[in-house]
Amino acid sequence: MKTLPIKHFDIEGAHKHYTDGVIHKNIRVPSRKISLSNGKALFLYDQTGPYSDPRVKLNPSKGLPDLQIAKNHSGKNVTQLYYARKKIITQEMEFVAIRENCTPEMVRKEVAKGHAIIPVNINHPELEPMIIGRKFLTKINSNIGNSAISSGINEEIEKMLWSIRWGGDTVMDLSTGKNIHETRECIIRNSPVPIGTVPIYQALEKAGGVIEDLTWEIYRDVLIEQAKQGVDYFTVHAGILRKYIPNALKRKTGIVSRGGAILAQWCQSHKKENFCYTHFEEICEILKQYDVSFSLGDGLRPGSIADANDKAQFAELKTLGELAQIAWKHDVQTMIEGPGHVPINKIQENMDKQIKLCQGAPFYTLGPLVTDIGAGYDHITSTIGAAIIGAMGTAMLCYVTPKEHLGLPDKNDVKEGIISHKIAAHAADLAKGHPLAIARDNAMSDARFEFRWDDQFKLCLDPEKARNSRKSTFSSDKKCSKDYCSMCGPQFCSMRISKNIKNN
């Protein structure tokens, strides 16, 4: 492996803390300890891996240390769903239970029902297990990956670390350009979070970029190659059937999913059914040997407000629900991808239909973006929909950056996309009444009311930006008064007045 730009990062005010397993004594579960100036401490969910622990030596040429968790499974079926149904609490289940502050038995039950997944390929031993399900903290995914015209391996690794630094719970490598295999290898070996891919992209590269030359055999070989490498979940567009294509083509913006468009063209050219659908059981056989989870792709997601909740979208969703049943028959963990562009008044129907048609399988949505006019600000149009659908029970939100619809995101776009979707996920968790989320907000409110500025910075998502914003409105450090800010000024600080009333 080439030498990569791998290094530790500082998270202001945070210290790495570990909790030992009770059932499985060998596991050490990380959290982020925030020590406050009032003597209290808060333990936050932390997915940054060894990068935020200076005590762990990093080795850029070898990758992260092996956690010795995933390797303990062997046999033909190694999935967490298989073990959960056998009533076995695995190390991964206890790991996520400690992270989420719930019981290992609750984790096992949710996984056994198919209502949650723990994406953890047995060949990704650097991974710290995490869970995606409506009863748990809402997660976010960030996308990285080179394209034919932009970005190299070092830049992609930097983007991955940057995503993790700011709170990405999973990372999807959407590379379509050169060195796909090598880029992915560097990413997996250095990632403490699950890595997802869309294997049809690499299959198309192998077919020389000619859609008509794609075959099931090429696709199957890519699945095996990536599963062996350690990819934790695959987006598989198996729900896009030939009969759905005419309706999709009548839309304002047609088919906007890359994978969906590729497979639709293949079906039309060959006058055959989608090979991901016709070979679905063989795909399950491959995935269950490595515990790769399905992310059943929404190839017909709406790409504009006018196309939301249409016939093509919901026909595909019904098929995805049927495919989830087949995946579960093989003990393959499964989540379902969702839209897209949806106006606020049509979001609830998406969630209701997904729960009904997919029997509670976790929903993983892109936004939804609630208007089409936000170019340059589509991380905002996305987070509005994401917060709403998250509060309704969507388990993971795929981030959207300000570059959406415009170009490949750079580092700053990645940060903006991550932070805005962390806010959406956290807002959803508050709406769902998650105690960890409520505790953080209460600590922030106390710090705000007591003018403990440093504590406020430690508790927010971007301490540096918050600190600089406050500082920049005072002409000097000395003038940076403790008990007001420049928003209302000293005479009109309502919190100070309110405190005075309370104290007198």
DSSP string, 18-85: EEE-SSSTT-EEEEEEEE-TTS-EEEEE---GGGG-TTSPP-TTT-SPP-SSGGG--SS---HHHHHH
Q: How far is the CB of 474 from ligand SF4 (least distance, A)?
A: 12
495 binds ligand SF4 (CB under 6 A): yes
Please, what is the Cα angle at 47 between 9 and 359, to 5 degrees?
Answer: 155
Segment contacting ligand SF4 by CB under 6 A, of 325-333, 352-360, 437-445, 483-491: 483-491
What values do phi and psi take at 400, rounded to 5?
-130, 140
493 binds ligand SF4 (CB under 6 A): yes
**Nearer to ligand SF4 (CB atom), residue 150 or residue 494:** 494
The H helix count followed by the E strand count for the chain is 19, 13
Q: How far is the CB of 312 from ligand SF4 (least distance, A)?
A: 48
* Cα distance between residue 378 and residue 131, in whole Å: 27
**Nearer to ligand SF4 (CB atom), residue 55 or residue 482:** 482
460 binds ligand SF4 (CB under 6 A): no
487 binds ligand SF4 (CB under 6 A): yes
If DSSP codes are grouped into helix, strand and coil, which group holds residue 421?
helix
Give strand pairing partners of 481: none
* Cα distance between residue 3 and residue 447, in whole Å: 43
438 binds ligand SF4 (CB under 6 A): no
444 binds ligand SF4 (CB under 6 A): no
454 binds ligand SF4 (CB under 6 A): no
SS (H, E, C) 32-48: EEEECCCCCEEEEECCC
Q: Please, are residues 141 and 191 in contact by the beta-carbon 8 Å criterion? A: no
Q: How far is the CB of 190 from ligand SF4 (least distance, A)?
A: 41
58 binds ligand SF4 (CB under 6 A): no
391 binds ligand SF4 (CB under 6 A): no
**Nearer to ligand SF4 (CB atom), residue 216 or residue 484:** 484
Q: How far is the CB of 438 from ligand SF4 (least distance, A)?
A: 21
> What are the structure tokens assigned to 290, written together?
């490595």
Q: How far is the CB of 486 from ligand SF4 (least distance, A)?
A: 7
380 binds ligand SF4 (CB under 6 A): no
- Judging by DSSP bridges, how do beta strands 233-236 and 363-366 pair with one another? unpaired
What is the dihedral angle through the alpha carbons of 420, 426, 427, 432, rounded to the nearest 10 degrees? 150
494 binds ligand SF4 (CB under 6 A): yes
**Nearer to ligand SF4 (CB atom), residue 150 or residue 469:** 469
**Nearer to ligand SF4 (CB atom), residue 1 or residue 485:** 485
488 binds ligand SF4 (CB under 6 A): yes
Please, what is the Cα angle at 93 between 88 and 95, to 5 degrees?
Answer: 140
* Cα distance between residue 248 and residue 243, in whole Å: 10
Q: Quick one: how far is CA 145 from the chain centroid?
A: 15
How many positions of this chain bind ligand SF4 (CB under 6 A)?
8
- Judging by DSSP bridges, how do beta strands 363-366 and 334-338 pair with one another? parallel
* Cα distance between residue 152 and residue 228, in whole Å: 23
186 binds ligand SF4 (CB under 6 A): no
Q: How far is the CB of 447 from ligand SF4 (least distance, A)?
A: 11
**Nearer to ligand SF4 (CB atom), residue 412 or residue 473:** 473
Bond prior to 340 in cis (omega within 30° of 0): yes
471 binds ligand SF4 (CB under 6 A): no
466 binds ligand SF4 (CB under 6 A): no
> What are the structure tokens assigned to 370, written together?
């609630």
Q: How far is the CB of 11 from ligand SF4 (least distance, A)?
A: 25
Q: How far is the CB of 488 from ligand SF4 (least distance, A)?
A: 3
484 binds ligand SF4 (CB under 6 A): yes
**Nearer to ligand SF4 (CB atom), residue 306 or residue 488:** 488
If we measure between CA atoms, which residue out of 314, 324, 338 comes closest to residue 248? 314
Q: How far is the CB of 498 from ligand SF4 (least distance, A)?
A: 8
**Nearer to ligand SF4 (CB atom), residue 375 or residue 497:** 497
Residues that bind ligand SF4 (CB under 6 A): 484-485, 487-488, 493-496
